[in-house]
Amino acid sequence: MRPGDGRAIGEVGENALVARFRELASAAQGEGVIVGSGDDAAVVAAAEGRALLLTCDMMVEGVHFRRDWARPRQIGWKAMAQNLSDIAAMGGEPAFAVASIAAPGSLPEEVAEGIAQGLMAAASEYGAAVVGGDLVGSPGPVVVDVALTGWVQREMMLLRSGARPGDAICVTGSLGASAAGLTALQRGLGAEMLPRLDRALIAHREPRPRLAESRAIAATRLGTAMMDLSDGMTEDLPRLCAESGVGARVYAEHIPVDPSCEEVAGRADLDALTLAASGGEDYELLFTCALDAVAEVAAAVAAQSDAAVTAIGEISEGDEVVFVDPEGRKMAFPRGFDHFATPARCSQRAEADSG
């Protein structure tokens, strides 16, 4: 970003804009910052052995949610869940949140109440507390912004930057259910009552951050890098690789495609694997560990959760991230979308900087 030549941010592009903001922020960073912008949450010095995590995520009506596609409580839940997922992605424990809401005076009271209840419910479910916020009037769309703190034992912290060539790439749970839910809403598939539609819609509207799974992975001390899948594997894995200075090779047939994604993709005439690999908002954990540690990590997660751990590929030298089919041929998947360049397609979310 070279300001001054009069370009609009849509022309500059999200990645360039975020890179510029990170540059500005890192120039101004004082002591105590362990990890600044660029990971799932910032890490700052706190007490002996423990570091403070800090993250935020903003949701805009018409871009990230629609009131005819989700109940107010679900909108609030999701706004908090995204942040909880960022804390999970660091191997941390969520602690305290503040939430800001901008809304026009015409907003029905029960919508405000529902959003607030959803925020509190998600926080409470995962051991966090909402300790404050800001309510402001706005002529524009409803905006919900949450900032969440967490704590992490320094030696259990899992950054995006720790992946090493030869490591296995693993994911928790399955992918594509949230993208399937969004697809169903976009295509109006609700009326057909597909058997697994509810599963897809719930995944899209009320994602469940993987905190127990994160805790289990972190406790093994065997993970080398971790992040949460918010923008889709095809967008997020390259980010993890870039931070680690490595490449990746993913065996596409190993990607655990959610059954609801198979079903909705079939009905919508889409490729299920593409939807699972490039759709966002799964809030599953993507992590790396030594190949011979996969079984132990998977067993640790299995002891805490019914979410499976699946090894889908391996970290490589270089910087190329490739998805290959069973014959070893490279596959092309669409990458995520640029937040400012692309017209809003509610509510496929792409966060610019999750730190």
Rounded to 5 degrees, what are φ and ψ at 135? -120, 120
Residue of the chain from 74, 149, 244, 274 that contacts a second copy (CB under 8 A):
149
Residue from the set 89, 130, 252, 301 that interacts with a second copy by CB under 8 A: 130
Interacting residue with a second copy among 51, 64, 273, 277 (CB under 8 A)? 64
Query: Near a second copy by CB under 8 A, which window of 113-121, 167-175, 238-246, 258-266?
Result: 113-121
Compute the least distance from the CB of residue 138 to a second copy, in Å: 4
What's the min distance (Å) between Cβ of 159 and a second copy?
13
Site for a second copy contains 99 (CB under 8 A) = yes
Establish if 109 lies at the interface with a second copy (CB under 8 A). Answer: yes
Q: Does 292 bind a second copy (CB under 8 A)?
A: no
* Smallest gap from residue 59 Cβ to a second copy (A): 8
Contact 234, 313 (CB under 8 A): no
Stretch 6-45 residues interacting with a second copy (CB under 8 A): 6-12, 14, 17-18, 20-21, 24-25, 27-30, 32-33, 35-38, 41-42, 44
Measure the CA–CA gap between 316 and 310, rounded to whole angstroms: 18
Please choose, out of 145-153, 174-182, 244-252, 258-266, the segment that lies near a second copy by the rule CB under 8 A.
145-153
For position 161 contacting a second copy by CB under 8 A, the verdict is: no
Residue 281's nearest CA partner among 59, 123, 54 is: 59
How many residues interact with a second copy (rule CB under 8 A)?
99
Q: Does 62 bind a second copy (CB under 8 A)?
A: yes
191 touching a second copy, by CB under 8 A: no
Residue 132 binds a second copy (CB under 8 A): yes
The CA-based angle 72-76-82, given to 5 degrees, is 140
Question: Can you tell me which of 66, 124, 190, 253 binds a second copy, judged by CB under 8 A?
Answer: 124
180/268 Cα distance (integer angstroms): 9
Q: Does 114 bind a second copy (CB under 8 A)?
A: yes
Residue 93 phi/psi, 5-degree rounding, is -115, 125
Q: Is 134 in the site for a second copy (CB under 8 A)?
A: yes
Residues contacting 50, CB < 8 A, separation 6+: 151, 152, 153, 154
Closest to 218 measured CA to CA, from 150, 300, 282, 308? 300
Binding residue (CB under 8 A) for a second copy from 131, 291, 295, 299: 131
Considering only 51, 58, 240, 264, the residue that binds a second copy (CB under 8 A) is: 58
CB contact at 8 A, 157 and 60: no
Residue 175 CB contacts under 8 Å (≥ 6 apart), including other chains: 229, 233, 255, 256, 257, 258, 261, 276, 277, 279, 282, 284
Q: Which amino acid is at 133?
A: G
The number of residues making up the chain comes to: 355
Q: Does 236 bind a second copy (CB under 8 A)?
A: no
Give yes or no for residue 261 binding a second copy (CB under 8 A).
Answer: no
The verdict on 47 binding a second copy (CB under 8 A) reads yes
Residue where the block lists tokens 């809403």 = 185
Residue given tokens 């290959």 in the structure block: 324
Taking CB under 8 A as the criterion, which residues in 301-340 touch a second copy?
A: 339-340
Q: Which of 51, 70, 84, 120 binds a second copy (CB under 8 A)?
A: 120
**Cβ proximity to a second copy, 122 vs 203, nearer residue:** 122
Q: Long-range contact list for 10-16, CB < 8 A, 24+ apart?
A: 10/340, 10/341, 11/341, 12/340, 13/338, 13/340, 13/341, 14/338, 14/339, 14/340, 14/341, 14/350, 14/352, 15/338
